[in-house]
Structure 1
């Protein structure tokens, strides 16, 4: 597909909202997932530490 201008490229033949919206959502998820994984890991380690201390007495 050939575009005559940058605005034609962004419009993607009328599907630009869906195309760029999909790219945006994917980029957001790819950015958030590592941060959420670190947060979950930190919470798990804290919970395991509390459990270990409680079992030891």
Structure 2
């Protein structure tokens, strides 16, 4: 794809909701995984 402006890039050819939504879901899932791992680590240390 060839974007002529930042706004065109952010619009993603009309698919911005799908593209940025997918990035958001992946980021949230990865953050949740890191949080869960830290919780398990703290739980293991207390046992």
TM over 0.5: yes
Task: Write the distance in 1 (CA, Å) between the matches of 2:38 and 2:4.
Answer: 45
The alignment of Structure 1 onto Structure 2 pairs a total of residues equal to 45
Structure 1 regions of 5+ residues with no counterpart?
50-57
Deviation of the 1:9 alpha carbon: 0.3
Which of the two has higher C-alpha Rg?
Answer: 1
Deviation of the 1:4 alpha carbon: 1.0
RMSD: 1.5
Name 1:33's counterpart in structure 2: 33
Structure 2 regions of 5+ residues with no counterpart?
none
Q: Scaled by the length of structure 1, what TM-score is found? A: 0.65
Written as runs of structure 1 = structure 2, the 5 A alignment for 1:42-57 is 42=43, 45=44, 49=47
Name 2:9's counterpart in structure 1: 9
